[in-house]
């Protein structure tokens, strides 16, 4: 009887971890390197686009000509509808911020740690899993996903950043 209970407990834990992992992983619509027009078509059916604007001055090191941001309300992530901010460098998707709640911070960090291992950088305002292109920020509360081409500039920034 005890073995059966242990087996059911193990199955439940694995199932929970699988569901939990999938809920915090990068959403499939986030396709770094994809054009803005293609991303906009994908977003049209899954959230409400509330803003599309040019960002000046340019802040992303990958942007040479332009940086823009598309805000999307009711974006499904981690079991809730949220605001997501899609950032484009020269019309190529490079970064996505998804707003979260303060009480979710510890759970998100624990979930990403379970998925990716120990964070690469822990600062006062952000916990980074840089090798996986994800971070949890606490002011404001957000999850950040970055493209591969932003990883090295972020690494340099994080290693220079003082606490």
Q: What DSSP letter does each residue of 100-158 carry, written as one string?
A: --GGGHHHHHHHHHHHH-S-SEE-SSEEEEGGGTEEEEETTEEEEEE-HHHHHHHHHHH
Q: What is the DSSP letter of 103?
A: G
Residue range of the domain that includes 91: 2-160
- pTM of the full structure: 0.84
Res 123 pLDDT > 50: yes
* pLDDT at residue 140, as a whole number: 95
Radius of gyration of the chain (CA): 18
Domain count, the chain: 1
- pLDDT 10s digits, 40-96: 999 999 999 999 999 999 999 999 999 999 999 999 999 999 999 999 999 999 999
Strands 80-89 and 134-138: unpaired
d(CA 9, CA 4): 9
- pLDDT 10s digits, 124-136: 999 999 999 999 9
* pLDDT at residue 23, as a whole number: 80
Q: What's the pLDDT band for 102 if we cut at 50, 70, 90?
A: very high
């Amino acid at each position: 009887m005890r073995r059966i209970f242990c087996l059911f407990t193990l199955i439940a834990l694995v199932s929970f971890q699988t569901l939990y992992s999938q809920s915090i992983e990068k959403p499939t619509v986030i396709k770094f390197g994809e054009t803005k027009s293609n991303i906009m078509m994908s977003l049209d059916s899954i959230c409400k686009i509330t803003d599309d604007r040019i960002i000046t001055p340019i802040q992303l090191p990958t942007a040479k000509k332009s940086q823009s941001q598309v805000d999307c309300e009711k974006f499904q992530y981690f079991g809730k509808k949220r605001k997501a901010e899609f950032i484009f460098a020269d019309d190529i998707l490079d970064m996505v911020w998804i707003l979260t709640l303060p009480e979710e911070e510890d759970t998100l960090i624990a979930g990403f740690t379970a998925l990716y291992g120990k964070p690469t950088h822990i600062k006062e305002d952000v916990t980074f899993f840089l090798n996986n292109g994800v971070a949890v920020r606490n002011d404001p509360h957000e999850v950040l996903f970055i493209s591969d081409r932003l990883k090295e500039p972020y690494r340099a920034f994080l290693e220079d950043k003082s606490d």
